[in-house]
Structure 1
Amino acid sequence: MPALQPPPDPEHEALEWFARLRQPGCDERLRQAFALWCQDPLNARAYAALEAYWQQLQVPAPRPRPRAVKVRRSRVGLMLGVLFLLLLALLAWLYWPTLQRLGSELHTDAGERRSVRLADGSTLHLDSASAMNVDLRGRTRQMQLVQGQVYLEVMLDGRALEVQVDDTRIQVFGTRLQITRHGDHDELVVIKGKATVSQGADQRMINAGERVTFSAAHINPVEKVDIQLVDAWRSGQLKARNLPLTEVLERLAGYQGQRVWLLDEQAAHRRISADFDLDHPAQSLDKLAAEQQLRLQGVLGHWLLVR
């Protein structure tokens, strides 16, 4: 008896056709045979069901939505940020004068005095912690006092000389003068010759033996000065004659690289008349503190608390 043929299985045949059609060697002849096989409705239905199932498997799974992260501002973090900014401000205030001084063309360290002879024959005597910029190339010689104190011996060579102190301009017509920068004002003393101080339309003429103080806001009236006391610092002496206590403390502490913090407001108005040794500022400060009944306390090597 002939062998019995198994009945056709459309689903199994559909799976075979599905695999054969995706082989690299699939050609037009095979596709025509597949079309002939699909003429049977059962076959076509089986292949459609297999194709639909395959499409469901190919649909990518939906990506999980990222959860919104709520940033909570911590008080501790905020306080740390504020402290960090305060620390940066403190360091900038503390070290900016030193950085500014080191960035100048001519400068001295705390406690150092230095004399420099320029190319035009002029001589600059720089006091402790002082800084200057000099430009002698133009028709007008330009100088800028950045910090501290300078004594100028000017060589006259037919060109004008100007010294800039922030927005104040000093025109030099003499041969010897001294310019000083204090905490809240600046000062010009003419020892020989003349000079003018200008701020916009405001101007003062200063003759030999006179001094004038000025700030960013105005120029004060011209006063007489004792020339013998002006440049005593060049020989290491501070000859104070009716000077404010604050100014004397600042000069002595500056020779140690310290800033003064005077806690006694009444003491700030005292006037001092005495001689001090700038080459030994610590001993001079102790002497002044004993005479004025003050207490001195150094802080981190940068401040000098005065009570």
Structure 2
Amino acid sequence: MNPMPAVQFDHDPQREALEWFARLRQPGGDERQRKAFALWCQDPDNARAFAALESRWQQLQSPPARLRPREVAVRRSHWGKALGALFLLLLAALAYLYWPLMQRLGSELHTAAGERRSLRLADGSTLHLDSASAMNVDLRSRTRQLQLVQGQVYLEVMLDGRALEVQVDDARIQVFGTRLMIARNSDYDELVVLSGKAMVSQGGDQRMVSAGERVRFNPVRIDAVEKADIKTADAWRNGQLAARDMPLQQVLERLASYQGQRVWMMDEQTAYRRISGDFNLDRTGETLDSLAAAQQLRVNNLLGQWLIVR
């Protein structure tokens, strides 16, 4: 399978400075993030943009050095609070919109929206990454460690005498086979085993999954193991979304993610409507238009980031 070309992003120091400003104030920062920020600041334009942003932030946070008449001071105080609240709201909106992208770019292996890529690891294993997916890989120790940060991966494991584990948030997947698929969705994660076995562990709960089976899990529980439709689960590698009695919202979210967009359903009853069909992931614009017409939906594009569905 030939990988699709990566999406190119224009260099915009002001926008990137806002993203870094929001990202550095998120909890859970690590050494890798600080090194990435230091590398970004080596560009003089980037450094100046970030310094200017910090200066404006300090001005908003600092009280006026000298107050004149009381009514002027009160007015300025109100304006300062309003501007500060507006600035924080803008930062929160930017962080919400761009955090998935920043999280991907901060991972060792990642794909852009609409891109699929196959990668051979140093141990001989192969990763097939779906659109907008991200992984971290550490093969140095006696137990090979992978972490699925976003998206979906089809993993072909090379057996070399060492154990292999995949981390998905707090869940740990011990791999005893050679082929499996792991996907992260908005409300659950999923493991499908195509060859061999794998065990999902979380807290004190665990499930053993054999070839031809799947299991769904989230931070609260691990569901019962079920039979898997392998052809349906694996269809994305050939650019197809094979929906079988799938909620309409889930289909729309899957298609929209290939365009780097999110879906906002205005009608909850419509969101849970069950549909089946095969949808082209490589021409998602046309596919979304056809699906909207077939389901009698009105779809509006908001700022290139959201699809509002009525």
Q: What are the Cα deviations for residues 66-104 of structure 1, in whole angstroms up to 9, with x where unaligned?
A: 999754264444333222211110000100110110011
C-alpha deviations, 1:228-282, integer Å up to 9, x for none? 1111111111110011111111110000010111111111111110000000001
1:154-178 CA distances to partner (integer Å, 9 max, x unpaired)?
0111110000001110000010000
Match of 2:203 among 181, 187, 200: 200
Change (3 A) 1:271 1:67: closer
Residue 261 of structure 1: aligned partner: 264
- Partners of 1:268 and 1:219 lie apart in 2 by 24
How far apart in 2 are the matches of 1:306 and 1:290? 12
The answer on 1:245 being equivalent to 2:252 is no
1:158 to 153, 156, 161: 161
Detail structure 1 runs of 4+ shifted over 6 Å in the superposition. Answer: 66-69
2:88 corresponds, among 85, 88, 92, to: 85
Separation (CA, whole Å) in 2 of partners of 1:154 and 1:67 = 68
Residue number in structure 1 paired with 2:123 = 120
Deviation sequence 1:21-50 (CA, Å, 0-9, x none)? xxxxxxxxxxxxxxxxxxxxxxxxxxxxxx
- TM-score normalized with structure 1 length: 0.76
- For residues 80 and 297 of structure 2, what CA distance do their matches in structure 1 show? 42
The residue aligned with 1:10 is: none
List alignment gaps of at least 5 residues for structure 1. Answer: 1-65
Give yes or no for the alignment of 1:271 onto 2:274: yes
Write the distance in 2 (CA, Å) between the matches of 1:82 and 1:266.
36
Counterparts of 1:297 and 1:144, CA distance in 2: 35
Matched position secondary structure for 1:183? coil
Aligned residue identity for 1:72: V
Aligned residue for 1:252, secondary structure, equals helix
What are the equivalent positions in structure 2 for 1:38-57 lying under 5 Å apart?
Answer: none
Query: SS state of the match for residue 268, structure 2?
Result: coil
Match of 1:186 among 184, 189, 202: 189
Among residues 211, 214, 219, which one is paired with 1:216 in the alignment? 219
- Structure 1 position 221, deviation (Å): 1.1
Segment drifting more, 69-78 vs 202-211:
69-78
3-state SS in 2 of match to 1:217 = coil
CA distance in 1, matches of 2:177, 2:305: 38
Q: 1:291 aligns with which of 291, 294, 299?
A: 294
Whole-angstrom CA distance in 2 between matches of 1:245 and 1:75: 46
Determine the C-alpha separation between the residues in 2 that align with 1:146 and 1:196.
19
User: 1:94 corresponds to which residue?
Assistant: 97
| TM-score scaled by length of structure 2 | 0.76
CA distance in 2, matches of 1:75, 1:242: 54
SS of equivalent to 1:141: strand
Correspondence for 1:169: 172
Aligned CA RMSD, in angstroms, stands at 1.5
Can you give the 5+ residue segments of structure 2 that lack an aligned partner in the other structure? 1-65
Amino acid at match of 1:81: G
* Partner of residue 74, structure 2: 72
Measured at CA, do residues 205 and 81 of structure 1 come closer, stay the same or move farther in structure 2, by a change above 3 Å?
Answer: same
- Alpha-carbon distance between aligned partners in 1 of 2:112 and 2:122, rounded to the nearest angstrom: 23
Match of 2:147 among 144, 148, 152: 144
1:280 aligns with 2:283: yes
Distance 1:67 1:154 in 2: 68
> Matched residue pairs, number?
242
